[in-house]
Structure 1
Amino acid sequence: MSLTTDHQGFLLDAQHWTDDWAGATAGALGLPWQELDQQLVAALRQFYFTFDLSPPMRPLVKHIKTEFGPDIGNSIWLMHRYGESPARALALLAGLPKPKNCL
């Protein structure tokens, strides 16, 4: 599946995102793609389309904590699962623009 991305792999149009594309992208990054990942990405996409913002780390953690509870909604868990920049990785998987302040 080939969708138009920028030079860092972020989709140019979030509306073109599909679950299959996200799974393939996760695989290419060596990340798991399980039901929980799909749920987190769905919550992130909902946030983006509600607030027109691809959330950086603090808003991301707060939103995930609200949606999924403190066991998952904390930066340590997210970093363990998605690497040094969970906001960047999840935005990439969700087909959203790279959050501001992410390297």
Structure 2
Amino acid sequence: MTESMQDIMHPGANSGSDPDFPHAPEGWTRSDAERIAKEEGITLTDEHWGVIHDMQEFYDKHPEPHIHVRELNDALEEKYHINGGIKHLYQLFSGGPTVQGCRIAGLKLPIEGEDHS
């Protein structure tokens, strides 16, 4: 069986269950994201989906145990700077683009972003 470069670089990555979210964690579905968002009072728009996609891509490109909350926030700030950066993302994810965004995107919270309550 021939392996693609993606398979070699990211073994065990999502097998493409949703072509719009190729970097999604295994087992993550849009319906799960919609359910979590609804429970948290969010109606997902195209803009939300874009942020979810970008967060999943960031995680796919960085080794998960080493992702720090500051690193993810900086990446989001840079990506969405033209729209207002993190301040704008707080309008989309009132519970915080990192914590709430990770929950909806099916991602583990980055280091220093875990809720210990």
* TM-score w.r.t. length of structure 2: 0.63
SS in 2 for 1:86: coil
Cα-Cα RMSD: 2.0
Equivalent residue, structure 2, for 1:34: 45
Q: For residues 34-55 of structure 1, what are the alpha-carbon distances to aligned partners after superposition, in whole Å with 9 as ceiling and x for unaligned?
A: 1111110000000001102355
**In the superposition, relative to structure 1, how do residues 98 and 61 fare at CA in structure 2: closer, same or farther (>3 Å)?**
closer
* TM-score w.r.t. length of structure 1: 0.70
**In the superposition, relative to structure 1, how do residues 28 and 55 fare at CA in structure 2: closer, same or farther (>3 Å)?**
farther
Runs of 4+ more than 3 Å apart: none
Higher RCO (C-alpha 8 Å, min separation 6): 1
Alignment map for 1:48-67 (pairs within 5 Å): 48-53=59-64, 55-56=68-69, 58-67=70-79
Structure 1: tracts of 5 or more residues without a match: 1-13
Equivalent residue, structure 1, for 2:90: 79
Q: Number of aligned residue pairs: give it.
A: 88
Structure 2: tracts of 5 or more residues without a match: 1-24
* CA displacement at 1:100 relative to structure 2: 1.9
